[in-house]
């Protein structure tokens, strides 16, 4: 066995909690899925929360999502299909 200490941002912590709140029947498909799900559940387990508000005013990572605007004509016959961000 291993004992792991993990520092995780509030945003990531809340995202993991939300996954399990919305997916009550979150079931692994294979053994590797089982390991990932088990590890994620331990991250949000209240018994494993050692300390809150450890420091840092904001998360150190930001993520930007961009939606691709699809062309109206999706025919590949024209040869001039352009996807724009």
Evaluate whether 16 touches 41 at the Cβ level (below 8 Å).
no
Q: How far apart are CA 56 and CA 48, in angstroms?
A: 20
Q: How far apart are CA 19 and CA 51, in angstroms?
A: 22
Q: Is the pTM for the entire model greater than 0.85?
A: no
Q: How confident is the model at residue 16 (pLDDT cuts 50, 70, 90)?
A: very high
Q: What's residue 72's pLDDT? A: 76
- Pick 21 or 67 by higher pLDDT: 21
Q: How far apart are CA 6 and CA 9, in angstroms?
A: 10
pLDDT tens, 34-84? 999 889 999 999 888 887 777 766 655 667 778 877 777 776 676 665 666
Residue 7 has pLDDT above 60, yes or no: yes
């Amino acid at each position: 066995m291993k004992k792991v200490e993990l520092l995780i941002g509030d945003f990531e912590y809340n995202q993991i909690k939300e996954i399990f709140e919305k997916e009550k029947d979150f079931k692994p498909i294979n053994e590797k899925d089982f390991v990932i799900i088990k590890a994620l559940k331990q991250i949000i387990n209240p018994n494993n929360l050692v300390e809150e508000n450890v420091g840092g005013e904001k998360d150190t990572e930001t993520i930007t999502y961009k939606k691709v605007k699809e062309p109206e004509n999706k025919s590949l016959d024209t040869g001039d299909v352009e996807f724009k961000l």
